[in-house]
Amino acid sequence: MGPDARIETLNVGVPGPAPAAPAPAPTVAPCGAQAAADAVPADTERDLVRSVFVVHGRDEQVRTRMFDFLRCLDLRPLEWEELVASSRKISPYLGDVVALAPSLAQAALVLLTPDDVVRLHPDLHRDWEPLFETGETCQARPNVLIELGLVLGAYPERTLIVEVGRLRPIADIEGRNVIRFDGSAESVGKIVERLKTAGCAVNDRGSDWRKPWPLLDAQERKP
pTM above 0.95, yes or no: no
The superfamily in CATH containing domain 41-120+130-211 is Toll/interleukin-1 receptor homology (TIR) domain (3.40.50.10140)
Residue scoring higher pLDDT (22 or 209) = 209
Cα–Cα distance, 204 to 169 (Å, whole number) = 32
The arithmetic mean of pLDDT across residues 105-115, rounded, is 98
Residue scoring higher pLDDT (24 or 106) = 106
Give residue 42's pLDDT. 47
Q: Where do the structural domains in the chain lie, given as residue ranges?
A: 41-120+130-211
Give residue 24's pLDDT. 46
Q: What is the CB neighbour count within 10 angstroms for residue 220?
A: 10
Per the prediction, the chain carries an average pLDDT of: 83
Phi, psi of 213 (to 5 degrees): -80, 145
Closest by Cα among 73, 2, 85, 86 to 41: 86
- Per-residue HEC secondary structure of 43-95 comes to CCHHHHHHEEEEECCCCHHHHHHHHHHHHHCCCEEECHHHHHHHCCCCCCCHH
Helices 142-154 and 94-104, packing angle to 10 deg: 50
Distance of CA 31 to the CA centre of its chain: 22
Task: Assess contact for 100 and 35: CB atoms under 8 A.
Answer: yes
Cα–Cα distance, 138 to 166 (Å, whole number) = 7
The percent of residues above 70 in pLDDT, for the chain, comes to 80
Which of 10-14, 41-45, 102-106 is modeled with the greatest confidence?
102-106
CA atoms within 13 A on the CB side of 99: 15
Residue scoring higher pLDDT (24 or 111) = 111
Give residue 174's pLDDT. 73
Residue scoring higher pLDDT (184 or 20) = 184
Judged against a pLDDT cut of 70, whether residue 36 lies above it is answered with no
